[in-house]
Structure formats: C-alpha cells, structure tokens
Amino acid sequence: MPQSYDPELVDSVSELQSLDLVDYRASRAKPRALAPLSDGVTVDDLTVPGRDGRSIPVRSYRPVDAGGDLPVILHFHAGGYVVGSPDGSHGRCAVLSERLGAVVLSVDYRLAPEHPFPGALEDGVAVLQWVHRAGGSQGYDVDRVAVHGRSAGAGLAARVAIEARSTGLALCFQYLNCPQLDPTAVDASMMLTDTAFLGAETVRVSWHHYLGRDGIADPQLVARASPAHEADLGGLPPAYVAVMQFDPLRDQGIAYASRLLASGVAVELHCFPGTFHCSSVVAPTAAVSRRELDEEIEVLRRALAPRSATQPTSH
C-alpha cells in the first residue's frame, strides 16, 4: 500500500474491498442502504422514452421551496459501465439538489455486458433530449443544463457532452470526477499497484464488458465510445475535472483536461492529494472529502447561475 494516503483515509483503505467486475452479478447483488434525506428535497421515480420504444428509469430530485424554471444536473452513476444504479449516488444527488436549488436527474442507464456500447450512451442522450423537449412543462431551464458523473459515469457524461455538441443540444457545463475515458490507456497511473478499491486490471475488465473483448482492438469502435479518442474537442461546454492521486484513472483525466484546454474549452483541473478512486464516497467525513464536495458545489453553483449573475467566460 502506498505510504502517502491521506491520514484520514488510511483506515478506510485497510477495510475496503476491491471492486469485482469479474463476478459482476455478485457485485450487483450486494445490498446498498439509501442515505436518509432532508425534508428539503422531493424525490420521484420517472420514466423517460428512449430509443426503440424503451423506457429509461430516471430518479428526479427537486428542492421543495425553489420556484420558477430550475437548472438541471443530468447525473450518471459510477460502476465501470457494469454495476451500480441511482441508489449508489442517492445521497449525493439529494445534497446537490438542495444546496444548488437545482433539479437532479439520475439516469438508470443500461449496463454491460448484457447491454454493451452504445446502450448506456443512447440512454444518456435520450434523457438529455427529453429534458430539452420537456423544458418548461417540467419546470426546467434548458439554458442551464449540466452533465455530471463519477468514474464510468463521468466518462459517459463526457461522451454525452460530445454527442450533444453534434446534435445541437445545449449544455452549459460538464463535471467529471475520476473519469473513465480511455480503453487503451497505458499511462503511469495505469501502472500503479495496490491502489485502493479500483485496480488497473478491473478497469481493463470494465472496458472488455462495455466494448466486448475484441472491441478494444477496433479503432472505429473505440473512437465512437471513448471521449479520449474523439478527434475534435472544440466547442464543448466548460468542464471541471477532478482526479485522485492513487487512482489508475488519474492520468487519463489529466490528459483529457489538457486536450480540452488545447481545444479552447475552459477547464479547471484538480488532483486531490492522498486520495484514491471514489475515496470521498467511502470516507465522506475526511477533510479532503469535504473539500472535494465543497468544490463540487461551488463550481456547479457558478456554472448553473443565471447568465446575468456570472461573469463572461474567457477562452
């Protein structure tokens, strides 16, 4: 184990089980208790029309006392494209909704290997299209819509942002935490050993499930699925990219932020020292985890503020 984990995270590291995507059915079957919510948020389970007549489950969080058309955060949960559900980010989505005065829509997208690429992406794009269609009838301000995700959910959010650009669906921001972006990555962080919760081999297994075992060798498939392999990143919405020091996904997040910057996109990049993949979820009371949440709230608050309340963004 690396000796420079944040002191408040060390006990969590020693007690934490690694994510298992080989026996993914067992991982899916593990019970997850939903975090208790305050009375300031109303939670509803919706269905949104998807492609080919499919219904996409979406969990909606809306602040009780907020009026008028509200900004929207389109959230994609973590889980390597293979496990997870809106239950895993239930508490975080409620906090975001209450503290930001925003509607948070948590998408229960299809999971691999039963539904490989492009299933999850199609679901994400379909929900974004519905948000723009529903607009005022649902109390959404379609000029203030952000995508948001963690791990594979952040990779999916980044890809949805690319698809939105090509189809003319407006997005004002993308929040990408520990994004899983590149199935071909062989960078230094993918060489880290003994990383807590998520190891490099688990990342590779995740991509095999999502793209198919031979899909990683198909450049055209990789280019369609992976934000890191998108040739042109110009014209994408501003981004905040958070990476963790002892995370196999660290360097691909840094590389993606650098490419966004080089393409003229406004980007803030933050590497949290002494942390591991999704450590703020495992140890939310640690000071570094609370700082991560505070930054998340602040950057989203600025991104979702009415245009008249923000300074023009310079590129």
247 as an active site residue: the answer is: yes
106 as an active site residue: the answer is: no
The residue annotated as part of the active site, out of 75, 90, 208, 277, is: 277
Quick one: which of 277, 271, 272 has its CA closest to 258? Answer: 271
Q: Please, is 315 exposed, middle or buried when counting C-beta atoms within 10 Å of its C-beta (0-12, 13-18, 19+)?
A: exposed
Strand bridging mode 70-76 / 41-49: unpaired
User: How distant, in Å, are the alpha carbons of 126, 180, 222 from that of 219?
Assistant: 25, 18, 5
Q: How far apart are CA 178 and CA 198, in angstroms?
A: 11
What residue type is 306 in one-letter code?
Answer: P
User: How distant, in Å, are the alpha carbons of 123, 125, 136, 296 from that of 109?
Assistant: 6, 10, 24, 23
Q: How far apart are CA 252 and CA 229, in angstroms?
A: 11
132 as an active site residue: the answer is: no
Q: How far apart are CA 307 and CA 270, in angstroms?
A: 25
How many degrees, rounded to 5, is the angle at CA 106 between CA 113 and CA 207?
Answer: 25
Quick one: which of 236, 78, 93 has its CA closest to 155? Answer: 78
DSSP codes joined into one string, 150-191: ETHHHHHHHHHHHHHHHHT----EEEEES----TT--SGGGG
First vs last Cα of the chain: how many Å apart? 41
The residue annotated as part of the active site, out of 12, 60, 106, 151, is: 151
Q: To the nearest 10°, the Cα dihedral for 149, 155, 156, 159?
A: 120
Q: In what order do the strands lie in the sheet with 173-177?
A: 41-49, 55-63, 103-107, 70-76, 140-150, 173-177, 239-246, 267-276
Count other C-beta atoms under 10 Å from residue 193's C-beta: 9
The residue annotated as part of the active site, out of 106, 247, 251, 289, is: 247
Q: Which residues are catalytic?
A: 151, 247, 277
